[in-house]
Structure 1
């Protein structure tokens, strides 16, 4: 009798990624409804884990969506697109959380993060920005959580230096969301554009990510601060690179394998992640077993326990599902004349078009609208055709706006994490700490994206 609740709890959790994989392969109405049913059963079964604030927000968005449905031309396709967005996010969260929990049990990972914060102050912003690309880019939010946890445990550190450390992590996050397949940003944005693959976006995403990391380090270097002694044993960049090389090599091999499998099987990278990451998490559990005498059995048992622990993400599944549906429905409900009037402000310039898309996403997110909803709404209404922009450049603009909105708005999970770990007020650690960076980054990204499509002399 004691085992049955655990078994029934794992079934709806497992059903979401399985239904998502089926829908990614089949792209049929039946598979979409199976995915919707899996998400609904999961949320009903785990409803006690949904916070009251998320319930109220989801209820308001749901009522607005239901009110606007009769007013749009294609209500069912809009809902189907929203369900697929929400299901894809939930599946990625489940798979990546399994990998993250397994990775956190590797002692060498935490030592690597500790050595990052032991670097001298002048080297730390750049090192943390680059480190976030690997720890956050391959381990998801768990990698960033580990970085914030170590940053919070440092003693004898001034408030200004603490803000600088947390800002470097946040700006690294804004950079990695442009390219990392471990986050839903790239996967969701790609669903809005037909024929564009993850590998098509990578060159532009890497270029803008490098600008973000370099710009963040430059802004911090211009702020005069006294060196803090801290309590960590000093480390050198050479030793850090030497110690991190095996971990970085494994991460790069893992991502390269996923890209190769995606191209060979002609399926999306998201499908490869959802299907393969749980297996990789199981291998890590076997490598670092809780019971060394029963390595294989212990690894499988630990994976099952991690799967059962996904019930706490019921609130995120509900919010992402409702936000996905609301974004696609809202974008169709906005009068075309309004959209065209706003688009005319750009004058057909790719520079101003990119800047408008990014500023609109950041601005909407600042009004307490979830960054994902803002990105879907802006990307679906201010389309490439309306702005006269190439789809690839428009896609990159949406990604940049989404990433910058997450680190600026106090309503994102990342801002809440930073405020909780640092003890610094959320408006200080999010909006005030990153506003100048976001404004300069939007201008720089608009110049890069506009230059790409502007014909030469």
Structure 2
């Protein structure tokens, strides 16, 4: 979900042809038709739209992604004939890839529009002027708003601001980047604007975001508490000599309250529309966020008809910029299809054996599910591919877990894996902005946090599984 354009204050995108814009807009449109109506051939139309998009923007796709996707395609072709239901399995993979691409289009439009609002950047600057002893906690909480409601672009904005704090000590700056990265692990558990949540819900159609939300928020709070406690212990009694000129908490609250209220109101609107229309919340996000982006763009600088027209022009320009994310679209499509096919090819005897090993211990089952994703990602396997393979092959029945607990454990492993592996977009982005080697800012900085978070989340989720009587 990398968007390099969001790393800059300026959003200048070369013009695109009308046909390119139509194809880009057709991705979320085809996804909505498939999600809500599911007529015969809708998955084929979605696959065709994605293929046309990738063909148009093939020159923008990273060569490493091209090679990886080609290898996954070969693996898919080798394994597909051995499946009992090959085309149904492929359809599920296409739907996962299309869903992620549609979320990327929609959320990217919103995040680019929000990045143009000066007040957003003022709040970010003020965050880093709070007392250093409490800054980690405040950045972790702030990441739930900026990242949870603006996508990875919000995290990029926070890292950009952290990198601009030239007077900060090296240890303080590393602490800030750790708070943002670990905050990402926490917010990926609950935010429907991230592909993580949408993909795990897509693996099991009976699951719902609202049903998972209380449990996901509980683990999110646990992650923030664990990270804050570890940061306090690492700091000890040390305090910064320049804390006296930092902005007090009350001033930060007054400055950030309108922005936080607007973000929460937007999330509440998504939930209300989802309940009222009886739509999956992902469908509501894909439908509503472009409208929100247009309104934000229309309110910047100009008013009346001129503002509305300017909003449309900015929206089209931002949509043209989506071609820079062609690498992500190809990787997500390849990972979705290959992941479901590989998972379907794993012998039942293997997964049954894993279920037997963890039988009777929900805590051990949750730990095995989350830790397996982390270990696979450490072997340089794409996080989404790991999550799809593990989630599809080790289902709730095999592990003896309630569905919400099972999916939350998947999200825990996925979020922590992205934080600790040097191969993730998050780690590369943090290394680029901080100037710290990628291995240091990922594995070395977050190794103990990931280990402790795996343990405490497994205990919590296992206890919840036992309490529900599964």
Q: Is the counterpart of residue 163 in structure 1 residue 179 in structure 2? A: no
Q: Which residue of 1 aligns with 2:404?
A: 392
Q: Which residue of 1 aligns with 2:368?
A: 356
Q: Which residue of 1 aligns with 2:149?
A: 138
Q: Is the counterpart of residue 432 in structure 1 residue 444 in structure 2? A: yes
Q: Which residue of 2 aligns with 1:123?
A: 134
Deviations 1:365-389 (A, max 9, x none): 1111111111110010011111111
Q: Which residue of 2 aligns with 1:153?
A: 164
- Stretch deviating more after TM superposition (297-306 or 5-14): 5-14
**2: distance between equivalents of 1:59 and 1:456?**
44
1:29 positional shift? 4.0
Q: Is the counterpart of residue 68 in structure 1 residue 84 in structure 2? A: no
1:453 positional shift? 2.2
1:121 positional shift? 1.3
Q: In 2 relative to 1, CA 67–230 (structure 1 residues): closer, same or farther, beyond 3 Å?
A: farther
Q: In 2 relative to 1, CA 456–177 (structure 1 residues): closer, same or farther, beyond 3 Å?
A: closer
Q: Which residue of 2 aligns with 1:282?
A: 294
Q: In 2 relative to 1, CA 155–292 (structure 1 residues): closer, same or farther, beyond 3 Å?
A: farther
1:5 positional shift? 5.1
Q: Which residue of 2 aligns with 1:58?
A: 69
Q: Secondary structure at the match of 1:222?
A: helix
CA contact (8 A) 2:359 2:400 kept: no
- Stretch deviating more after TM superposition (404-413 or 287-296): 287-296
Aligned residue runs from structure 1 range 244-255, under 5 A: 244-255=256-267
Q: Indicate which of 240, 255, 262 corresponds to 2:274.
A: 262
CA contact (8 A) 1:289 1:298 kept: no
TM norm structure 1: 0.96
Aligned residue runs from structure 1 range 415-426, under 5 A: 415-426=427-438
CA contact (8 A) 1:118 1:232 kept: no
Q: Which residue of 2 aligns with 1:221?
A: 232
Q: In 2 relative to 1, CA 386–182 (structure 1 residues): closer, same or farther, beyond 3 Å?
A: same
Q: Which residue of 2 aligns with 1:411?
A: 423
CA contact (8 A) 1:158 1:228 kept: no
CA contact (8 A) 2:109 2:318 kept: yes
**1: distance between equivalents of 2:403 and 2:456?**
19
Q: Which residue of 2 aligns with 1:369?
A: 381
**2: distance between equivalents of 1:183 and 1:456?**
28
CA contact (8 A) 1:98 1:306 kept: yes
Q: Secondary structure at the match of 2:423?
A: coil
Q: Is the counterpart of residue 104 in structure 1 residue 106 in structure 2? A: no
**2: distance between equivalents of 1:69 and 1:289?**
54
Q: In 2 relative to 1, CA 153–74 (structure 1 residues): closer, same or farther, beyond 3 Å?
A: same
Q: In 2 relative to 1, CA 195–297 (structure 1 residues): closer, same or farther, beyond 3 Å?
A: same
Q: Which residue of 2 aligns with 1:47?
A: 58
Q: Indicate which of 372, 378, 382 corresponds to 2:390.
A: 378
Q: Which residue of 2 aligns with 1:186?
A: 197
Deviations 1:117-141 (A, max 9, x none): 1111111110000000001111111
CA contact (8 A) 2:15 2:320 kept: no
Q: In 2 relative to 1, CA 316–229 (structure 1 residues): closer, same or farther, beyond 3 Å?
A: farther
Q: In 2 relative to 1, CA 81–230 (structure 1 residues): closer, same or farther, beyond 3 Å?
A: farther
**2: distance between equivalents of 1:359 and 1:442?**
7
TM norm structure 2: 0.94
Structure 2 segments unaligned to the other structure (5+ residues): 1-13
1:234 positional shift? 1.8
Q: Which residue of 2 aligns with 1:19?
A: 30
**2: distance between equivalents of 1:370 and 1:4?**
32
Structure 1 segments unaligned to the other structure (5+ residues): none
Report how many residues are paired: 455
Deviations 1:1-52 (A, max 9, x none): xx99521221211110110011001224411111000100000000010011
**2: distance between equivalents of 1:306 and 1:224?**
42
**1: distance between equivalents of 2:331 and 2:205?**
25
